[in-house]
Structure 1
Amino acid sequence: MRKKSLSVHCQNLAVTAAALSATKRLYRTKVYVLVAMSLFSVNRYLGDEYDGSISKDSKSLLLLAKLHLKAKRKQRQGLTGPRIKCSRRYGIHFVEKKRKADNDRNHDSQSTTKKKSKAVILNVCNNMQEPVEDEDNMRKKRGDETQMNEQSETVTGRDAEVERAAEDIPNETLNCSSGFTVIGGFESKPVKKVHRVLPHWLAQPDIISRDMKCKMVPCSQIEGLSVSLLKKLNSDGIQNLFPVQSEVIPAILKSGLQHGLLIGQAGYRPRDVCVSAPTGSGKTLAFVIPIIQVLMKRAVCEIRALALLPTKELAQQVCKVFTSYAEGTTLRVVMVAGQKSFAAERASLSEQSLSPPQIPLQKLLFSATLTQNPEKLQQLGLHQPRLFSSVNHPSSHCPQPSIDNQKPEQFDFPPNLSEFYVPSALSKKPLILLHFILSMKLSPILCFVNSRDTAHRLCLLVKLFGGVQVAEFSSRLSPGGRKKKLKEFEQGKINLLISTDAAARGIDISGVKCVVNYDAPQYIRTYIHRIGRTARAGKPGLAFTILLGVQEKNFLQMVTKAGSFGIQKHVIKPAKLRCMEGRYEQTLQELAGVIKEENANVK
């Protein structure tokens, strides 16, 4: 009995000590809560029904009352309650819990060592939710079940009172302030796409008239044109200027090339000029005349103008025009195209030097296929450019076009050009070319192929067939040989000139009535430059393209999207070719022998 009473007495002492410890922890909890409330004053929104009816002091008292009730509830729930620290600054509750180890299975009176563990639970304080509690009490004894049940009943009754009192406090008072960072709640919002807009100078160019005959302007009406150049134009039989010339020449003269100095308005750097006009519209004369007029007054001989051309033949043609209009002046025109030795070309430039670097550079761009891509034009480093174009652009009242929604590039085709495509099999293509010359009497014809080997073999085939004066124009010939062939073609001594794309860029070949694309071009720019060798200066012209069955769809789509007026289908009936088939088969056998002999000589 003495042992039993001593055990009960020790047990009562342990319970009393645990109660004192819990009371001490609860006191600390209250201190933490009061300190947090006094340091961090937060204005809370209580809802529309509380606006103006509850003061700030009342709100604080309500919140403090609820926290006080919660603290009492924790005190009655058990002897081992969790410690709560509330950090208002970061909007996060830290809950620290202690777990105690179970006693031995034999229910010895001696207390075992307590195992301590801390668990941190992060809780976003949207509604100041009650922290999670660990209800798994490790120190339950069989003899205390009745006492714990009574305490739980008492706590349950008091919790109901606390909950009813808490219902009277609006939830808005417990919300965190707007300055806290709330984790989560991200909503996917559609991002509005930003459309890139074309620059104003590219979207709204100066329009050049497409009517080359009715919109011609007399040379005497061109503002700023010198008297000596007017006389030179009259001596060459030029009384009127084409629309591109009448628009661009005054603009270049006003932009900065005045009184022999490259100075724009108010002394600033002159604007660059871009011109997009169809082939044969007079672009060469549009930049030759203003350059000659400005440089003819300069006394110091320096390299002041540089013209860059894509091919040697075009360089020869432009050099010829510059030399013609520089007669009677102190200007000297030199061409550097690799036709002479490097030492000779260097000697021709050794006496001159480039203009001083402090003088600004004005760029003049002329092309029938000028790109409309602003990213590519930006690489040229243009300064406040001004665009002259005969391509249809959106009107001024329409919104500026977007780069993302921009249509495929469109170009200006010669207005007097008639385009046709001829369906054919691969073996019938030479017969169709012979049919154009011998039966349709289309002469002279400029025929384009994709390689110099094709040009050579086709030229040999037509020569062996007979009845046609034919020549080839490719890199197989020397520069002097190509120049001689072009001259004979212009004089009418050659009826058919078979050429690669070397003759397709900008060369003005007089008398070309028909262009034949023996090999279909792969790119639209190649097609435009090829057919631009005819229908020049407002004259009529024909363009035929021989297409295989697999090429028709892609080629027609390419031409239509580029802005063609309409390409028509021209069908040649097989009966019209039968009269030449016998001679054609015999010519093929002869051609095989000639090519075999040439290959043997090369080896």
Structure 2
Amino acid sequence: MKMGAEEEDNQKSIPVLPWMRSPIDVSAVHECPLSLLPCIDPRLKVSLEKMGISSLFPVQLAVWQETVGPGGFERDLCVNSPTGSGKTLAYALPIVQMLSTRSVKCLRALVVLPTRDLALQVKEVFAAIAPAVGLSVGLAVGQSSIADEISELINRPKLELGVRFDPDDVFPELRSSVDILVATPGRLMDHINNTKGFTLEHLCYLVVDETDRLLREAYQSWLPTVLQITRPDDESFLPCAQNFLPSPFGSLKTIRRSGLERGFKGKSYPRLVKMVLSATLTQDPSKLAQLDLHHPLFLTTGQKRYQLPEKLQSYKLLCESKYKPLYLVGLLQSLGAEKCLIFTSSVESTHRLCTLLNSFDHLPFKIKEYSSLQRQSIRSKTLKAFRKGEIQVLVSSDAMTRGMDVEGVRNVINYDMPPYIKTYIHRAGRTARAGQNGCCFTLLRKEEVKRFNKLLRKAENNSCSKYSVPSSYIEPLHSIYESALEKLKETVEMETSRKRKR
């Protein structure tokens, strides 16, 4: 869902919270080799090296210092950092490190993301490091049936004949099979409301990734529900996260409340530690208030609110509306075999554009679409092929704009001009990730240029050069274009006819 024009236009009139006025600039932090990273579990170091990671990026090191390091999770963290700067590992690594210090099996960390595809990607990061320290990671996104998810998340131990559970046991018959859960809001609410044995009562860490989007969309009131479940009955908090985790040897006592568990025998209730992250973190106090943050610490990269990747080159390509697809094909040909991601304004536009491009004969690259019109299994298969390089050009709706990391995307093309600066930042952030070079091209009609320039000024970026496609690429396409339009018309008519018959 897009940010409303009124919200973005009125950002300057919204008062900024005091703690956001003096952020910690993580750009001043240098990368740190793993060999010099304090306190890291050697097993995690080995796992990171297997992933090809030899050092932490600035935002990752800054979060480590405020969690595992001297900061000790004493404050909730808000991270505003450009796409591709390494935010996922920034929270995954310290959470896994902290959970590994106690060997109790219950759900202690929850990561919430707005889309299935992004959740799958984040789960892969956790799954690459958590098993090394004996932790398990679950996924609740609706990719499989609810029954299959329950079987993965909830352990149903078999009882030996004549053996009965102690009613005072902290764990009832149904136990969590995972230490960390990566979830989308809708499926999370399904489990909270309907899954026996599923509880957030022992939750220590809550990560809200892509915060601005999750706060903008209600998603069945998932956030107030989670905060209510995890809020203590009294307000006595432990000051440090090292004491958050319960001992597995009888220190817990079950307190029944609405079918859920809560209680740390002989101890005050722990504070739920929150980490919120985005490349375009909202400054709206009314939205941030929903998170109920505890003395939040604001980490950001530089002093600009809207930031593009450091090594991104932006270009604008002027074209006639009638021949816009020709300019796009010419641009793709001029870029050669480089991996490209094309964004359109809607799922319908994505489908039509991909169909049109595939109607051009003998293009030297493979083109596929990626949108919410497709089943999850199809999207996953397409994304996998794109990552492998079996598909060179992917046409997408904004389903890909949030956090998705596809290695080797050299070019992003805005076939339709993004309506807001946040949309531009998230689209452009699919390239030039992790310090790599990348380009973002925006196709513009003459009447769109002024509005586009105004949009970029919100990111304090005036370095958008004009790009021209050589006429030698475009002229030969005119006759092919007419034929492609006829094929598109026939395809649309066939698809419409099939829908009517259903």
Task: Give the TM-score taking structure 1 as reference length.
Answer: 0.60
Partner of 1:596: helix, strand, or coil?
helix
Please tell me the residue identity of whatever aligns with 2:38: E
1:417 equivalenced with 2:312 (yes/no)? yes
CA displacement at 1:584 relative to structure 2: 0.6
Q: 2:369, 2:14 → 1: CA distance?
A: 48
Q: 1:597 to 1:559 in 2, by over 3 A?
A: same
1:281 equivalenced with 2:176 (yes/no)? no
Q: Deviations over 1:126-161 (max 9, x none)?
A: xxxxxxxxxxxxxxxxxxxxxxxxxxxxxxxxxxxx
Partner of 1:457: helix, strand, or coil?
helix
| Match for residue 54 of structure 2 among 215, 222, 239 | 239
| Match for residue 499 of structure 1 among 391, 396, 401 | 396
Q: 2:488, 2:133 → 1: CA distance?
A: 54
1:525 equivalenced with 2:425 (yes/no)? no
Q: 1:598, 1:197 → 2: CA distance?
A: 50
Please tell me the residue identity of whatever aligns with 1:362: V
Please tell me the residue identity of whatever aligns with 1:457: R
Please tell me the residue identity of whatever aligns with 2:292: G
Q: Unaligned 5+ residue runs, structure 1?
A: 1-194, 258-263, 265-269, 394-409
Q: 1:208 to 1:465 in 2, by over 3 A?
A: same
Q: 1:599, 1:477 → 2: CA distance?
A: 16
Q: 1:218 is matched with which residue?
A: 33
1:322 equivalenced with 2:131 (yes/no)? no
Q: 2:124, 2:84 → 1: CA distance?
A: 17
Q: Deviations over 1:83-103 (max 9, x none)?
A: xxxxxxxxxxxxxxxxxxxxx
Q: 1:372, 1:391 → 2: CA distance?
A: 16
**Contact 1:473/1:498 (<8 A) preserved:** yes
CA displacement at 1:337 relative to structure 2: 0.5
Partner of 2:103: helix, strand, or coil?
coil
Q: 1:361 is matched with which residue?
A: 272
1:376 equivalenced with 2:287 (yes/no)? yes
1:434 equivalenced with 2:329 (yes/no)? yes
Q: 1:590 is matched with which residue?
A: 487
Q: 2:15, 2:388 → 1: CA distance?
A: 51
CA displacement at 1:368 relative to structure 2: 0.8
| Match for residue 149 of structure 2 among 331, 342, 345 | 345
CA displacement at 1:443 relative to structure 2: 2.1
Q: 2:134, 2:86 → 1: CA distance?
A: 25
| Match for residue 26 of structure 2 among 168, 190, 208 | 208
Q: 1:565 to 1:298 in 2, by over 3 A?
A: farther
CA displacement at 1:453 relative to structure 2: 1.5
Q: 1:463, 1:564 → 2: CA distance?
A: 35
1:92-491 to 2 correspondence within 5 Å? 198-209=16-27, 215-254=30-69, 270-350=74-154, 351-352=175-176, 353-354=199-200, 355=202, 356=262, 358-392=269-303, 410-441=305-336, 443-466=338-361, 467=363, 468-491=365-388
Please tell me the residue identity of whatever aligns with 1:591: L
CA displacement at 1:548 relative to structure 2: 1.8
Q: 1:440 to 1:226 in 2, by over 3 A?
A: closer
Q: Which has the higher contact order (CA 8 A, sep 6+)?
A: 2
Q: 2:457, 2:326 → 1: CA distance?
A: 28
1:531-542 to 2 correspondence within 5 Å? 531-542=428-439
| Match for residue 555 of structure 1 among 445, 452, 462 | 452
Partner of 1:326: helix, strand, or coil?
helix
Please tell me the residue identity of whatever aligns with 2:412: V
Q: 1:528, 1:197 → 2: CA distance?
A: 23
Q: 2:392, 2:28 → 1: CA distance?
A: 31
Q: 1:458 to 1:366 in 2, by over 3 A?
A: same
Q: 2:448, 2:337 → 1: CA distance?
A: 25
Q: 2:377, 2:70 → 1: CA distance?
A: 39
Q: Deviations over 1:538-594 (max 9, x none)?
A: 110010011122222122101112222521222346565221101111111122112
**Contact 2:343/2:398 (<8 A) preserved:** yes
Q: 2:257 is matched with which residue?
A: none
Partner of 1:313: helix, strand, or coil?
helix
1:71-90 to 2 correspondence within 5 Å? none
**Contact 1:391/1:411 (<8 A) preserved:** no
Q: 1:271 to 1:340 in 2, by over 3 A?
A: same
Q: 1:493, 1:201 → 2: CA distance?
A: 47
Query: What CA RMSD, in Å, does the superposition of the two structures yield over aligned residues?
Result: 2.1
Partner of 2:68: helix, strand, or coil?
helix
> Once structures 1 and 2 are overlaid, which stretch shifts more, 575-584 or 509-518?
575-584
Task: Give the TM-score taking structure 2 as reference length.
Answer: 0.72
Q: 1:383, 1:435 → 2: CA distance?
A: 53
Please tell me the residue identity of whatever aligns with 1:446: L
CA displacement at 1:524 relative to structure 2: 1.3
Q: 1:217, 1:200 → 2: CA distance?
A: 30
**Contact 1:423/1:548 (<8 A) preserved:** yes
CA displacement at 1:199 relative to structure 2: 4.1
Q: 2:14, 2:321 → 1: CA distance?
A: 46
Q: Unaligned 5+ residue runs, structure 2?
A: 1-12, 155-174, 177-198, 203-261, 264-268
Partner of 1:366: helix, strand, or coil?
strand
Partner of 2:273: helix, strand, or coil?
coil
Q: Deviations over 1:367-391 (max 9, x none)?
A: 1111233343233211100011113
> Once structures 1 and 2 are overlaid, which stretch shifts more, 439-448 or 524-533?
439-448
CA displacement at 1:359 relative to structure 2: 2.2
**Contact 2:57/2:85 (<8 A) preserved:** yes
Q: 2:226 is matched with which residue?
A: none
Q: 2:463 is matched with which residue?
A: 566
Q: Deviations over 1:278-332 (max 9, x none)?
A: 1111111111111101111222211111001121111001101111101233312
Q: 2:134, 2:124 → 1: CA distance?
A: 16
Q: 1:210, 1:469 → 2: CA distance?
A: 42
Q: 2:14, 2:83 → 1: CA distance?
A: 31
**Contact 1:244/1:281 (<8 A) preserved:** yes
Please tell me the residue identity of whatever aligns with 2:428: I
Larger radius of gyration between Structure 1 and Structure 2 = 1
Please tell me the residue identity of whatever aligns with 2:140: V
**Contact 1:276/1:391 (<8 A) preserved:** no
Q: 1:490, 1:599 → 2: CA distance?
A: 32
Partner of 1:459: helix, strand, or coil?
helix
Partner of 2:110: helix, strand, or coil?
coil
Q: 2:242 is matched with which residue?
A: none
Q: 1:221, 1:453 → 2: CA distance?
A: 50
